[in-house]
Amino acid sequence: MIYFNNVSKVYNKDSVALEDVNLTVTAGEFVSIVGHSGAGKTTLVKMILADENPSSGTVFFESINIHKLKNQDLTKLRRRIGVVFQDFKLLSNKTAYENIAFAMEAAGKTDAEISSDVPHVLELVDLGNKISHFPHQMSGGEQQRLAIARAIINQPELIIADEPTGNLDPINTYEVIQILKKINDLGTTVVLTTHNRGVIDSVGKRVITMERGKVIRDDKNGKYAI
């Protein structure tokens, strides 16, 4: 699904974010990318979303060279990817229902599809009873689960979760990871970035370890090893 071919990102001679990265993520995988702050995890994710361009090398989504796409085609590609951020990025003036409906409207979904699908996805992330709540009326864990619901509502092929548990306590962290695993079990590819050792050890799936912009380990059933 995703292919990095000799990808480097150099900001200046003292700032090398990625160096000769080669990796493949297969459809249906759950891949955790770990490393200390500055290891290159976020830059790697930005490459997949074309928020950053490589200094050299190529990033493919299936057979598509991401960084050769025109704006219109890039927008279509991004609709195939759901993103979950550490800071939620919810619309504070909209309810849980409206936050998800907004994402569906942007994708051109009908009112009938919205009224049918939004309650279903809220149930999937255990927020069926929060449908009319605003983000400020929800806990951090609930807000992150709402962000996941918004990310998956248009049935993307890939979910990117960039440090999704960074602001959560252990109980809410566990619940968010269980939902990501459930989404993966339903067939969606998941790429998770984290520096949380407990998260990695509990997932028990492929772990890619980065250090100073390089992939230094790639373990099929890995644990946190740095």
Distances (CA, A) of 139 to 41, 84, 130, 143, 193: 27, 16, 11, 6, 22
121-150 confidence digits (pLDDT tens): 999 999 999 999 999 999 999 999 999 999
> How sure is the predictor about 37, in pLDDT bands with cuts at 50, 70 and 90?
confident
Q: Long-range contacts for 108-111 (Cβ within 8 Å, ≥24 apart)?
A: 109/154
Kind plus residue range of the DSSP H or E element containing 210: strand 206-211
183-213 confidence digits (pLDDT tens): 999 999 999 999 888 888 888 899 999 999 9
> How sure is the predictor about 13, in pLDDT bands with cuts at 50, 70 and 90?
confident
Domains delineated in the chain: 2-219 (3.40.50.300)
3-state helix, strand, coil in the chain (%, to 5): 40, 25, 35
Burial class, 155, CB count within 10 angstroms (exposed 0-12 / middle 13-18 / buried 19+): middle
Q: Could you give the CA distance from residue 59 to residue 105 in angstroms, rounded to a whole number?
A: 29
Query: pTM of the entire structure?
Result: 0.92
Distances (CA, A) of 126 to 41, 146, 196, 206: 29, 9, 23, 27
